[in-house]
Amino acid sequence: MTATLITNIGELTTNVGADGDPCGTLRDAAVLIDGGRIVWVGEAAASDVSSRFARSTTERVDAAGRAVLPGFVDAHTHLVFGGDRAGEFEARMAGTPYSAGGIRSTVAATRAAGDDELRRRLAGFIDEMRRQGTTTVEIKTGYGLSVDDEERLARLAAEVTDEVTFLGAHVIPPEYAGDRAGYVDLVCGPMLERCAPFARWVDVFCEDGAFTAAEARRVLEAGVARGLEPRVHGNQLAAGPGVAVAVGLGAASVDHCTYLSDTDIALLAASDTVATLLPGVEFSTRQPYPDARRLVDAGVTVALASDCNPGSSFTSSMPLMIALAVREMGLTVAEAVWAATAGGARALRRADIGGIAPGMRADLVLLDAPSRTHLAYRPGVPLVAAVWKDGRQVV
Ligand code: NIG
Ligand code: FE
């Protein structure tokens, strides 16, 4: 693979070191990538680095003073599904409140869709995300809810990412409406057995209308026993036990965190569990935003993700999440960009992504702007000029 030297970077977000600057910012910087990895990063005049790395096989990119940052790490999505719920959205905007019940209509549409259709849609979403600067994506099952359909979604997701999450415990499907215990047995037994070979993570929606704390613990413990690592959907629609369950089981992340008690925040702050905030949900359901400022001030590690799904947040835009976190949730620009890159990497327990340093994967975004601030300052404007994934330019 040809090496690539990116010079003349006006503002480089490394996310490494630097007291008081979570983004570890370098000015007038250059990055050399080779073999899919970053091999050198520094502040240097373009002419210095060019002569230092003079190799005929090195492709040169002049960033012309623009900003470069790590590719976005979207650590929470539900991308394998059939149909959409535009009608539900329209009704919500006319006053019908969001409830998790809509998930069942996507389950019906997903079961009815063939593999090729789901694969084609998935490829479309991955492409849409790449063009917006996302280089790593986690994908959950959870719209199949039968053994065969959950396995199918896990298999299709594994075709496009290593970060697959088994979410058989999303809601109780209609055919088990009178038999909760029977469904939890199915999830913890045959469904887990068939999905585990394709998955790294196990997740559960721990909320009124979905699964109780006891059911959630059973599902997560079964997943862990089968070699998966736990993460949790919790505290989305109301205060509840999601955070306590997640922290108690050493989950990598608890996601949503919209309604938190002081005890929840203290538990998170004293743990390694990341709070993954999903402001596309509050935007799309007209709910109050989570208080990211309070979390960061308490010492909680915060990630931002899109939660891209047809019900509560049908957007794949990490720049939008950054803009919302800054405008509505009290984060500084640097904190929000960190949360959408390094924070996502922490939520996936990955040390090889989310930063720009020697040895890390060469996943980078070049903005058509002089600084990362423009991601929040110019909401809705497509600012991604180029994207490298594993050292290969993909946009
Ligand atoms: O993360 N909270 C649970 N699951 C999804 C919603 C899925 C849906 O409404 O289809 C979420 O918001
Ligand atoms: Fe979700």
Mean pLDDT value of segment 38-62: 82
Instruction: Indicate which residue's Cα is closest to atom 1 of ligand 1.
Output: 307
CA 146 to chain centre: 25
Q: Is the pLDDT of residue 1 over 70?
A: no
Residue 350 to residue 359: CA distance in whole angstroms: 13
Residue 80 pLDDT: 98
Ligand in nearest proximity to the CA of 309:
1
Residue 20 pLDDT: 87
Residue 51 pLDDT: 78
Task: Report pLDDT digits (tens) over 331-383.
Answer: 999 999 999 999 999 999 999 999 999 999 999 999 999 999 999 999 999 99
Q: Is the sign of the CA dihedral 309, 221, 340, 301 positive or negative?
A: positive
Residue 300 pLDDT: 98
Report residue 150's pLDDT band, with 50, 70 and 90 as the boundaries: very high
144-163: burial string, b at 16+ Cβ within 10 Å, e else: bbbbebbbbbbbbbbebbeb
- Give the helix/strand (H/E) hosting 181: helix 180-186
What are the phi and psi torsion angles at 130 (to 5°)? -55, -45
CB 242 within 8 A of CB 267: no
Instruction: Indicate which residue's Cα is closest to atom 11 of ligand 1.
Output: 312
Query: What are the DSSP calls for 120-178, one per residue?
Result: HHHHHHHHHHHHTTEEEE-EE--S--SHHHHHHHHHHHHTT-S-EEEEEESS--GGGTT
Indicate whether residue 103 lines ligand 1 (CB < 6 A): yes
pLDDT averaged over the chain? Answer: 96
Centre of ligand 2 to C-alpha 209, Å, is 14
Neighbours of ion ligand 2 (CB under 5 A): 307
Residue 343 to residue 303: CA distance in whole angstroms: 4
Q: Is the pLDDT of residue 144 over 70?
A: yes
Residue 221 to residue 186: CA distance in whole angstroms: 14
Report residue 316's pLDDT band, with 50, 70 and 90 as the boundaries: very high
Report residue 58's pLDDT band, with 50, 70 and 90 as the boundaries: confident
DSSP-assigned beta bridge partners for residue 43: 29
Centre of ligand 1 to C-alpha 6, Å, is 39
CB 96 within 8 A of CB 85: no
Q: Alpha carbon of 346 to those of 164, 265, 302, 313, 355: distances in Å?
A: 16, 18, 9, 22, 11
Instruction: Indicate which residue's Cα is closest to atom 3 of ligand 1.
Output: 205
Residue 101 pLDDT: 82
Centre of ligand 2 to C-alpha 294, Å, is 22
Mean pLDDT value of segment 68-77: 98
Centre of ligand 1 to C-alpha 228, Å, is 21
Query: In the chain, what are the domains?
Result: 4-71+354-393 (2.30.40.10), 72-347 (3.20.20.140)
Indicate whether residue 312 lines ligand 1 (CB < 6 A): yes
Residue 261 to residue 253: CA distance in whole angstroms: 17
Mean pLDDT value of segment 39-48: 83
Strands 37-43 and 25-34: antiparallel
Atom of ligand 1 nearest to the CA of 310: 10
Mean pLDDT value of segment 136-156: 98
Indicate whether residue 141 lines ligand 1 (CB < 6 A): no
Take residue 324 and report the two structure tokens written for it: 């919302």
Indicate whether residue 307 lines ligand 1 (CB < 6 A): yes
CB 224 within 8 A of CB 252: no
Q: Alpha carbon of 337 to those of 108, 276, 325: distances in Å?
A: 37, 13, 9
Indicate whether residue 217 lines ligand 1 (CB < 6 A): no
Atom of ligand 1 nearest to the CA of 106: 10
CB 11 within 8 A of CB 70: no
Task: Report pLDDT digits (tens) over 97-125.
Answer: 988 889 999 999 999 999 999 999 999 99
Centre of ligand 1 to C-alpha 368, Å, is 33
Centre of ligand 2 to C-alpha 298, Å, is 24
Instruction: Indicate which residue's Cα is closest to atom 5 of ligand 1.
Output: 312
Task: Report pLDDT digits (tens) over 4-18.
Answer: 999 999 999 999 977
Centre of ligand 2 to C-alpha 380, Å, is 22
Report residue 304's pLDDT band, with 50, 70 and 90 as the boundaries: very high
Atom of ligand 1 nearest to the CA of 207: 2
Q: Which residue has better confidence, 289 or 43?
A: 289
Q: Is the pLDDT of residue 2 over 90?
A: no
Q: Is the pLDDT of residue 55 over 80?
A: no
Q: What percent of the chain has pLDDT over 70?
A: 99
Residue 56 pLDDT: 67
Residue 200 pLDDT: 98
Residue 129 pLDDT: 98
Residue 49 pLDDT: 79
Indicate whether residue 231 lines ligand 1 (CB < 6 A): no
Q: Is the pLDDT of residue 46 over 70?
A: no
Residue 23 pLDDT: 97
Centre of ligand 1 to C-alpha 66, Å, is 36
Place of tokens 């480089």: 12
Indicate whether residue 233 lines ligand 1 (CB < 6 A): yes
Q: What percent of the chain has pLDDT over 90?
A: 93
Place of tokens 């190799």: 55
